Amino acid sequence: MKKETIISLSQRTGFSVSTVSRVLSGQAADYRISAKTIALIESEAKRCGYTPSLLAKGLRTNRTHTIGLVVPCIGNPYFAMIASVVTAEAKRLGYTIIIVDSVESEADEQAGIRSLLSHKVDGIIVVPCGNDPSLLESVNAATPVVLIDRHYDNSELSYVCTDNYQGSVEAVRYLVACGHRDILCIRGNLQSSPVKARVKGYLDVLQDAGLTDRAMVRGASFSVDNGYLETKLALSSGVRPTAIFAMSNTILLGTIKAVRESGLHVPEDISLVSFDNSSYFDLLDPAITHVSQPINNMGTLAIKILMGKINGQSDANASIELPAQFVISASVKRL
């Protein structure tokens, strides 16, 4: 079927191309086009399923009403939730989201960003990987960029993230207060700013408690396999941890699998705490004690900051850390 255009609508309705264009672009009132003419053109456009060309519109307005979103792994439930919030908020404002999965690769991230720029997106929201902000900083000079969940040290790029340090401190303090001394910390991607902050919180609490020599920090990936393998190794070692602090919901799933395979029970034999929030945490038996991140607020603020940049607001730059919420459930035993 041939695609409908403003020209074909003009031919069928009998109105000029300029009149049809002004009606469909919402400019009818500016040109004093009659209500009857508006109704006829809109009715015919709806009947034939006309959709405007974003490319043509972008050439006229210098806007495409599209936003790029780059995440490290769309299969990770946490990043999928971020994508869902950002997409819904963008849609509410009349924008379409183009999602790029960088698969935790800085090279793939850079290739994805260049692809988004070729599509003339109006702005980009990024969960960055790697340690080099130079490409994003150069892009930001012409196309607004906002970071979400992660950020760079010594960079002026705007970002919204969780206070990962404080969330980690609360979780580990709770384990120590419950009598745990041998606490295994299974971390994610080593270059991730949240991981660096969470590990620092873990180590600082152990230092304050005089337990530095008992610190156990292992792993290097936000994956189920990482949680599974590191838990397997820990449970077969000479000093078995009494508690495990999983630094993501995916790591936690691997940990639970390894614990069950070992014939152990939570929390009777081993206690579990996780960073991240997930709808299935309360469905597990027992429900998981965890650090809940404010994903809805993070996504909404990222879009809000980006819109300010797109609209040229001089005060649009922002660096925001939102507080996490520590949720106590039944997965920790008091010793």
> 208 and 101: one domain?
no
Q: What is the 3-state secondary structure (H, E, C) of the chain?
A: CCCCCHHHHHHHHCCCHHHHHHHHCCCCHHHCCCHHHHHHHHHHHHHCCCCCCHHHHHHHHCCCCEEEEEECCCCCHHHHHHHHHHHHHHHHCCCEEEEEECCCCHHHHHHHHHHHHHCCCCEEEECCCCCCCHHHHHHHCCCCEEEECCCCCCCCCEEEEECHHHHHHHHHHHHHHCCCCCEEEECCCCCCHHHHHHHHHHHHHHHHCCCHHHCEEECCCCCHHHHHHHHHHHHCCCCCCCEEEECCHHHHHHHHHHHHHCCCCCCCCCEEEEECCCCCHHHCCCCCEEEECCHHHHHHHHHHHHHHHHCCCCCCCCEEEECCEEECCCCCCCC
The residue out of 15, 31, 52 marking a domain boundary is 52
Beginning with the edge strand found earlier in the chain, give each strand of the sheet holding 271-275 in spatial order.
Answer: 216-218, 183-186, 243-246, 271-275, 289-292, 325-327
> 299 and 153: one domain?
yes
78 within some domain: yes
pLDDT at 274: 97
Give the Å distances, CA to CA, from 215 to 112, 218, 245, 258.
Answer: 38, 10, 12, 21
310 within some domain: yes
35 within some domain: yes
Domain count of the fold of the chain: 3
333 within some domain: no
> 242 and 299: one domain?
no
330 within some domain: no
pTM attached to this predicted model: 0.82
Identify the domain containing residue 32 by its residue range.
6-52
37 within some domain: yes
> 18 and 112: one domain?
no
CATH of residue 188: 3.40.50.2300
> 126 and 177: one domain?
no
288 within some domain: yes
- Residues of the chain falling short of pLDDT 50: 1, 55, 59
280 within some domain: yes
pLDDT at 58: 52
